[in-house]
């Protein structure tokens, strides 16, 4: 009788479970500025970087030769324009000046590419993707994503909650998370936003729930870390907690 009374009358806190991933508010993909080859890689995923730190460098030998040739063309066409001016050859002078402007534009472009050959960090953060140490001398195309850098100051939790439980947390605010790497530590979070549309997953549809931390961020946290979250609902009886999944399943199966 005591056990039955506890099952039906003792109310304990009920929490909805879900998985989460730690994400950054600001992320930057560092792409290849031009077609070329990787010459040097200075960082790997997990390294903390400062704004302006060198991430990698592309081979610049061909660009340097091209810059030298373009600069020589500029000087040559300027001399031809001066000679044409001295002999009153207006047409030849105009042609030489136009060719000189074209060579100067090519030289400026090559010089810009040389300045972009060293890919740097756009802000203080951590490298979360792009282990290129085994791709030295490998070719890259302009626009290829090489590395991903994320800020550490504005981390937030993106939790996935099954659609069967989402109605339970619509008006709730608090919860806790535990990281896979440190399951003994629990960190309080508060619900900020629930995405209005569900996303399909193998185990069923889920809703994305954005949560923010209620305390200062830990130094060992990194974007991409995952774990388990528990979002508080309200006090429910032990009997309801133990049987509501089965009851809902039977309601769907026996409905006609």
Q: pLDDT at position 39, please?
A: 92
pLDDT in tens, 48-84: 999 999 999 999 998 899 899 989 988 988 888 888 8
Residue 255 binned pLDDT confidence (cut-offs 50, 70, 90): confident
Backbone angles phi, psi at 64, to 5 degrees: -65, -40
| Mean pLDDT over each residue of the chain, to the nearest integer | 90
CA distances from 143 to 32, 147, 151, 174 (A): 5, 12, 22, 42
User: Which residues, at least 6 apart from 254, have a Cβ–Cβ distance to it below 8 Å?
Assistant: none
% of the chain beyond a pLDDT of 70: 100
**Is the pLDDT confidence value at 23 over 90?**
yes
User: Which pLDDT value is given to residue 4?
Assistant: 86
* CA–CA distance, 140 with 132 (Å, rounded to integer): 11
Confidence band, pLDDT 50/70/90 cuts, at residue 156: very high
The rounded radius of gyration (Å) of the Cα atoms in the chain is 31
**Mean pLDDT confidence for 88-106:** 86
pLDDT tens digit sequence for 170-213: 888 899 999 999 999 999 999 999 999 999 988 889 999 999 99
């Amino acid at each position: 009788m005591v056990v039955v009374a506890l099952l039906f009358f003792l109310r304990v806190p009920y929490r909805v479970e879900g998985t989460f991933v730690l994400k950054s508010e600001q992320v930057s993909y560092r792409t290849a500025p031009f077609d070329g080859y990787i010459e040097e890689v200075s960082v790997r995923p997990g390294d903390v970087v400062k704004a302006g730190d060198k991430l990698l460098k592309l081979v610049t030998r061909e660009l340097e030769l091209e810059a030298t040739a373009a600069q020589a063309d500029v000087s040559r066409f300027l001399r031809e324009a001066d000679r044409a001016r001295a002999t009153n050859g207006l047409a030849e002078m105009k042609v030489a000046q136009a060719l000189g402007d074209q060579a100067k534009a090519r030289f400026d472009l090559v010089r810009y590419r040389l300045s972009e050959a060293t890919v740097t960090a756009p802000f203080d953060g951590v490298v979360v993707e792009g282990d290129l140490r085994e791709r030295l001398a490998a070719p890259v195309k302009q626009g290829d994503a090489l590395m991903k850098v994320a800020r550490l100051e504005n981390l937030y939790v993106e939790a996935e909650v099954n659609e069967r439980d989402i109605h339970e947390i619509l008006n709730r605010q608090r919860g806790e998370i535990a990281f896979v790497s440190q399951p003994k530590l629990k960190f309080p979070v508060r619900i900020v936003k629930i995405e209005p549309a569900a996303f399909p997953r193998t185990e069923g549809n889920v809703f994305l729930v954005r949560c923010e931390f209620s305390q200062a961020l830990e130094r060992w946290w990194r974007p991409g870390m995952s774990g388990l979250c528990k979002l508080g609902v309200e006090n429910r009886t032990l009997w309801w907690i133990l049987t509501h999944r089965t009851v809902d399943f039977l309601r769907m199966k026996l409905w006609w």
